[in-house]
Structure 1
């Protein structure tokens, strides 16, 4: 069941009211100047983390890189990785000991070295200047630029100016007193300040002569401009002091700070940072507080941070503030960063544990512990009270603040603790929870079964018999109706509305699934519940689980709502913020998961929240500030003024690597053929929280969508195909501000020879040739099989012929001879003998015909070399036996004629000639062979009686000559036609395709050989 519209409307009204309160409280937000230096989030990088030592200068270029000048060379830092810089063009640096750095707004970096050398770095190119360029031989102490584009250098031998690739001395020409320029800077109005051994002077914007500000200066190490426009100097022998104010005596701006400072920095908030040579870092939050202060009393205002506090080295020589507001300090052992964390740590005394918090009237919180006095904790400091007894539970109601501990219960009135009562069990060690009953009494939970109520001077104990395992409440809350809410272990809440009414229990059966109940928050008619397994809400007598995006919140031991209506939970993952509208939606819609913003150790959260006591671990102060207790300290945050990084992170592609080598990133890169593993390293110079920078990248031409790289700063591609690609990468900072443009680089992967188009064409040709060769081999094999079958056929014919000759013909011949002998016994002239001799003549004729057939079987065209020779032999035989002239005309080269075609054409010609002699009564027969179009043509023409059309079409019953001719023609892939115009003569024509008649000529090699042979013949 979902909450009804009345509950949602009530919560929405609360959101609106909270928003107005947030606007009112926003004006009370304090800036980072109110922080102590110990309240900044500090990170140190030493040689162990890859940082260089002996840092002498710091600068940040327009691309976001932090540059470190050291005694051993130049380095750059992207927030994650230190990289020694070596220019790709222009040659290596002529010196290694860096004395100064200057990053112009227009881009690039000026590097000043010791002993008269300077270089300008722009991308991968470095331009070097030395004595040949007019640069004096002394050390370049400082470099700066004015608004008119001029570059100035402070050297041991005086002030110099850079113009069109050359350095020019300007000391005397522009009226600057002294011979050495020890330092310089440019103020907000564009004035160039220069300190020499004689004076501190300044040059107006566009001016031609210096004006002396003061001659009372010593050896100046650094010059800095204060927020009020005054000029401060750090002197090697005199300390830090204001040297010029423009209004009168500079001593009125503050005393001399007796510090051996090697640098000065006024940050954006006006705080003064001073690295010292052996005494760590000093910070003055408000330099105005130094006015009128006695010399030597700076310790009251100058905060101190040294090596035992975590500083990489007490010897610090350089300090800058980057564009995101972080303070960077370079020293002898590494690099340090101070940044404003979102969660402000309280300045609790070391060793304090088990923090019991309650909102103090006005602002701040009261904090009780087991081993420190009860104290009022505020953003700027801690004020202890007179109560030194351990405190393990606190609460606040309309009557005041309740305190509970092993020694009893106290009331806090006007900041003074007053004893209220002793515990019912004096030997007990503490109180789990305490809350007022609204009638002057108190409800108390101790580690004994049940709940204890102190009223009218006595204790009442309710053992809560309905609960198994003798539990005691972990948290207590008396709501605005006077109802008592009790949270227990193992998914149990008990609501007691008053005497005479039954308690209402909410447990696992009612849908409560938060584990041990460790936080309760009243908001209108809804009770929000936090536990070890997440968050739930009780509205209209029902339990509603609250889902969140990502990993479920666990270990929620504190739950509060700020003045804007947003919810904050102190959970195991960190401090979680959930928008009020998202929580209301999640309450109304069980399928909705509310988005969560987490603040963890990177935001300044120490340790994890306590899970059992003291509870709760989250408190809203009267001024709207939120306070959270953990196992290692207390932090606070102003929800109306959460620091936010609004700068999009600059993105850069660092290197392109393959198994064959590494290439520096430029506009494009050409990779060799056969690249198996491509690695593209990139970075984003967001220096505040580089751990939370998130990347996404895409290789256009290869990737179809953007890839989420998370915090990884390298993209890997395996076996990229050859081609042209564009690699793009974007980055998002810790607050979700994205650099949508990002960085890109053209990547071209070369083709191997086997990936070239000509290679594919060659492969296609070779494959086609192989297929053709295989086809020819197959044809040759088929031809061989056909020849084998033909030989078998011929052998079978010869066998039949032998059988006919040796058996049937011999037997018939013997029978005829015997019958002749019988006939000879009959007298001549007898009719019987005449009949017998007639039968013998018939038998002789049959024998002749049988012998002809046997001869035909045994003799075939294969015995002749060519078809034309066989046809001429046939013509001669017919002319001799039958006196019928047969004329043979051959108009084709028949040397390569297929053997099977030759045999079949010969048999067709013989059959046609035989038919013309035996049946047509022809007196002339013409046999011709010629090429006609794409076919070999055989024709047999006679002048006999001809054949009827019906016989030509259907054949004659009992005769198979015409059908046999057609079948033989079809056997060799040809066709036979018969014509008998007007019944006079007959012409048999057979067409055989040239591919079938001359297969050797119709292969590529055969055609080439035929043309070659034909050419030789013509010659």
Structure 2
């Protein structure tokens, strides 16, 4: 039997031992229970001491190492991983202002300034085995060992025994205690009990008669409790000693540990379990008969109100007063399984139908007891109970239906009385006073003559197996069956499922809120019915739980309480309304389970809960009843603590625990790892962080518990990290990490100033040089102007002579003008001839226009046909709804080069846990490629859906053969084919997924989230059809890989990789893989945006080269 199983048995067999308790404190058996054993990571189940440090970590001392626990995971410290330690056996712990001290079986261990140091007998320790450590007002440590008492002087850093009375130097010390006055109480095994005044070095009290002391504690009234072998005593302030009056109520008289909690209750650990003494009342948590020993070694209360009990052989367990109070067989409930809860004949009475008869609860006595009618029941295994408006009690079971009237007269009904079946499951009274009974074979209505009329599917019921009945404000009966809901209204049945499309046939419960909204609890979550339409909240609730066995409205807190198979959860109605209106993506869920006081984490699927007038909701469970007070809903106001536990730069861990952290210069990757500590609800911790000097706003952390920054500019930074719990209680003061990013040589201020001065000096020199050159050019220019003036004068005389020559030439031109006039008349005659020819050309142009218009019409018809082909092609691609069903988070980049694409993507889901996905690149693009894609889709559907072929190698082999046959490639020169990547994704429902890949000239990429690693698998170097068409028997191979929830898969044709830029350079496979790796941590929608942006930036104004398809999805 495992330790976890043993602890579970212990918890189920808790016994209570009560005195008169006016305050009605919750019994230990009603505390929520949790265990830490080797199955949870403890190095051994012997937990000798439990201690909580200021940073809220829980420390567990064991014989096989020291354990640091944050509520979720453990870190074990031992010789193997910690330099300086000399033993695995830790016995006790103490935290002071400057250090943490650990008692071991091989000396005293000090942890300070991140260093471990061991003190042994060589350094003056009186004995290496440490049993107890306490700190006095001077900061000195008093150490109890089997060989006596000594103290460690903090200032002198040495052990001292001088001045200690001889009787304590030689005594076996079992416990030490420092009281409020600073006096040291010493408990020994054989020498007695002592109160020692440290400053005066004398005894204030000595009692040598008390032997075998194991534990000491001083309570708030300054009474000293002394526990030992077969005794528990109290010593008051006047040193009057008395024996604990309730020794016979303890699990064992052998007391091993004592502790006083924050409420003043005394916790008593024994060799057979633990007990709590408060207000003269004892409640015990005792051992099971199968356990030979169950010795309690340590008890402590943490800052969140959990009680931790360390045991000698069975690990540590946690007790906590949760939101729920549970009552079971230990408190008087007659059966473990509670199927139905009903208000009794009076308001202070509650009736429970169990697997062992009826239980009655009375408010006045606060007790559970068997009902008087139990001995007369046909069977004690009951299914439902109802008290009608006439105070009749109706009891449903597998043996029929029983009515007990106010005069205690019983009437039993069977099939002979008209019941649909002797197995009666549900009873209901409508607003007219009619009694309805749901059976496994129909719905029965009690008639005036005392017989039942039964309705079945012949009358309009969806199914004869009745689950529940509900009446709404319009007096309609909602009848839940195994095949959906039937509504009974005005004497007629009609099928609600078919009329309104509720896509969950198994509806456990129907309810109506105060606004008239109908709510359904189903095996597929919750639904609402409003404005004559059904709305599903599937995947619209953060942390969604699939089942919803019953739904209860809490109008006071505006909540829905939903019982399910993992506990009870609440939903804020305002948030549900916002989701319904499209103003909010998801509503938040808060789950209550065994950690919150429920004995059983599952509510009965078919039964009745009860809402009382005092605001208490009673839930029927597999282990008694669990009650929540809606008027007193506790919220966790204690935020988790946050610890920065690791800082790495470029993959190398650096010490971040000094006063100021220096980050080296250059291009760096800074990673800051952190964790939160919550011992109550670690699963509810969420984080946000901000790097002051870089981030403008706080960043909501999403998993990983780390913040990553790259290439930060050189300057001072402050990293802030904060954490909140499930009730959004956040740290008031975020944890800080201050650091400085050093500058490179060229980034230093003095270097930049020198560079700036040098730059301006160069500018000044250049300026002076340019001015000098301009002045020289000005002198040369003046000389040239003088020379040019002289040349102009000489040219003026030449021009005068040329003017006279031009006059003579003008006369010659007049003669030529007369000749041109005659020529112009001749041209006019030729122009008339050309006009005639122009008419003929115009007619020809009209004929061309007519032909062109006809061609445009034909081209439009062809384009419309191609666009229709595109419509057909897109209709064959997987729908968004189908993709969403398979993969909630995914993206698709699908960019045809022409109207019709030669690429296509394909998916089918032949079984619930099996999905096939493919990306395909057909020969060519446009219409030819489009025809090939439609052919490929048709063949793939036929192979998998009709032939039921699920082997990826066989699928590609058959696809290859089919392409060759369809295109008759063996006897022709048709060279068309396709490259293809095919995935088979099989999920086991537990977070593990097996992916099988077979490819034809294609590659698939897998991103493993935990390892932060991108993996690529390459398919076979052969195509489907195409050039290898003569070889039908192509040999394809498959590859399998195991993936976890959160891992990602990417498929792509070669269009993205082969796209060129203006320099004719392709993106290429290497860059494509870098892009995937660099963006894989983003949400799928953000990653798609990055892929499209990088593609557009690379392509620029260049034409698209090929069809582009990229698919990504997250498991």
Q: Is TM > 0.5 for Structure 1 vs Structure 2?
A: yes
2:610 is the counterpart of 1:619: yes
Equivalent of 2:563 in 559, 564, 570: 570
In structure 2, the residue matched to 1:809 is: none
2:653 is the counterpart of 1:669: no
Extract unaligned runs of 5+ from structure 2: 1-20, 760-775, 806-1115
CA-atom RMSD in angstroms: 5.4
Q: Relative to 1, partners in 2 of residues 1:644 and 1:204: Cα closer, same or farther, differing over 3 Å?
A: farther
Equivalent of 1:457 in 430, 450, 454: 450
Q: Find the residue that maps to 2:111 and give its secondary structure.
A: strand
* Structural mapping, 1:665-744, within 5 Å: 665-667=656-658, 668-672=660-664, 677-710=669-702, 712-717=704-709, 724-744=716-736
In structure 2, the residue matched to 1:640 is: 631
Q: Relative to 1, partners in 2 of residues 1:587 and 1:122: Cα closer, same or farther, differing over 3 Å?
A: closer
Cα distance in structure 2, aligned partners of 1:636 and 1:694: 29
Q: Relative to 1, partners in 2 of residues 1:378 and 1:53: Cα closer, same or farther, differing over 3 Å?
A: farther
* Structural mapping, 1:409-420, within 5 Å: 409-411=401-403, 418-420=410-412
The Cα of 1:378 is off from its aligned counterpart by 9.5
The Cα of 1:655 is off from its aligned counterpart by 1.0
| Preserved CA contact (<8 Å) 1:108 1:120 | yes
Q: Relative to 1, partners in 2 of residues 1:411 and 1:172: Cα closer, same or farther, differing over 3 Å?
A: farther
Cα distance in structure 2, aligned partners of 1:437 and 1:693: 46
| Preserved CA contact (<8 Å) 1:320 1:328 | yes
Cα distance in structure 2, aligned partners of 1:53 and 1:467: 61
In structure 2, the residue matched to 1:408 is: 400
In structure 2, the residue matched to 1:341 is: 322
In structure 1, the residue matched to 2:421 is: 428
In structure 1, the residue matched to 2:645 is: 654
The Cα of 1:344 is off from its aligned counterpart by 4.1
Cα distance in structure 1, aligned partners of 2:474 and 2:456: 24
- With normalisation by structure 2, the TM-score equals 0.56
Number of residue-to-residue matches in the alignment: 743
Structure 1 residues 299-334: Cα deviation after superposition (integer angstroms, max 9, x where no partner) = xx632156979x9x9455333221212122334564
| Preserved CA contact (<8 Å) 1:494 1:506 | yes
Q: Find the residue that maps to 2:356 and give its secondary structure.
A: coil
The Cα of 1:444 is off from its aligned counterpart by 1.0
* Structural mapping, 1:303-702, within 5 Å: 303-305=285-287, 314=294, 316-330=296-310, 331-332=312-313, 334-348=315-329, 355-359=339-343, 366-369=351-354, 371-376=355-360, 383-385=369-371, 386=374, 387=377, 388-400=379-391, 401-411=393-403, 418-423=410-415, 424=417, 428=421, 430-436=423-429, 442-463=435-456, 467=460, 469=462, 471=464, 473-477=466-470, 486-487=479-480, 492=485, 494=487, 496=489, 509=499, 516-521=506-511, 526=516, 528-532=518-522, 550=542, 555-562=547-554, 564=556, 566=558, 567-571=560-564, 574-578=567-571, 596-600=589-593, 602-603=595-596, 606-611=600-605, 613=606, 615-616=607-608, 618-621=609-612, 624-630=615-621, 634-658=625-649, 660-667=651-658, 668-672=660-664, 677-702=669-694
Structure 1 residues 184-220: Cα deviation after superposition (integer angstroms, max 9, x where no partner) = 2245676543224433234689877542164432132
Cα distance in structure 2, aligned partners of 1:208 and 1:414: 78
Cα distance in structure 2, aligned partners of 1:943 and 1:445: 125
Q: Relative to 1, partners in 2 of residues 1:486 and 1:77: Cα closer, same or farther, differing over 3 Å?
A: closer
Cα distance in structure 2, aligned partners of 1:332 and 1:678: 44
Cα distance in structure 2, aligned partners of 1:653 and 1:719: 21
In structure 2, the residue matched to 1:264 is: 258
Structure 1 residues 692-745: Cα deviation after superposition (integer angstroms, max 9, x where no partner) = 211122233444432222554233445666665432211112332111422121
In structure 2, the residue matched to 1:218 is: 211
Cα distance in structure 1, aligned partners of 2:224 and 2:317: 26
| Preserved CA contact (<8 Å) 2:98 2:112 | yes
Q: Find the residue that maps to 1:374 and give its secondary structure.
A: strand
* Structural mapping, 1:811-830, within 5 Å: none
In structure 2, the residue matched to 1:143 is: 133
Cα distance in structure 2, aligned partners of 1:123 and 1:955: 110
Structure 1 residues 154-178: Cα deviation after superposition (integer angstroms, max 9, x where no partner) = 3432253645345675896689878
Q: Find the residue that maps to 1:474 and give its secondary structure.
A: strand
The Cα of 1:573 is off from its aligned counterpart by 6.7
Range with bigger deviation, 256-265 or 404-413: 256-265
| Preserved CA contact (<8 Å) 1:649 1:732 | yes
* Structural mapping, 1:184-195, within 5 Å: 184-187=176-179, 192-195=184-187
| Preserved CA contact (<8 Å) 1:131 1:137 | yes
In structure 2, the residue matched to 1:98 is: 90
| Pair member with larger Rg | 1
Q: Find the residue that maps to 1:950 and give its secondary structure.
A: helix
| Preserved CA contact (<8 Å) 2:640 2:677 | yes
- With normalisation by structure 1, the TM-score equals 0.61
Cα distance in structure 2, aligned partners of 1:942 and 1:507: 106
The Cα of 1:653 is off from its aligned counterpart by 0.4
Q: Find the residue that maps to 2:683 and give its secondary structure.
A: helix
Equivalent of 1:160 in 146, 151, 154: 151
Extract unaligned runs of 5+ from structure 1: 1-28, 291-300, 768-929, 960-1019
Q: Relative to 1, partners in 2 of residues 1:314 and 1:670: Cα closer, same or farther, differing over 3 Å?
A: farther
* Structural mapping, 1:952-967, within 5 Å: none
Cα distance in structure 2, aligned partners of 1:143 and 1:415: 70
The Cα of 1:630 is off from its aligned counterpart by 4.7
In structure 2, the residue matched to 1:814 is: none
Cα distance in structure 2, aligned partners of 1:145 and 1:340: 32
Equivalent of 1:950 in 782, 796, 805: 796
In structure 2, the residue matched to 1:36 is: 28
Cα distance in structure 2, aligned partners of 1:938 and 1:262: 118
| Preserved CA contact (<8 Å) 1:62 1:107 | no
Whose RCO is larger (CA < 8 A, sep 6+)?
Answer: 1
| Preserved CA contact (<8 Å) 1:649 1:684 | yes
In structure 1, the residue matched to 2:856 is: none
The Cα of 1:434 is off from its aligned counterpart by 0.6
Cα distance in structure 2, aligned partners of 1:470 and 1:441: 21
Q: Find the residue that maps to 1:691 and give its secondary structure.
A: helix
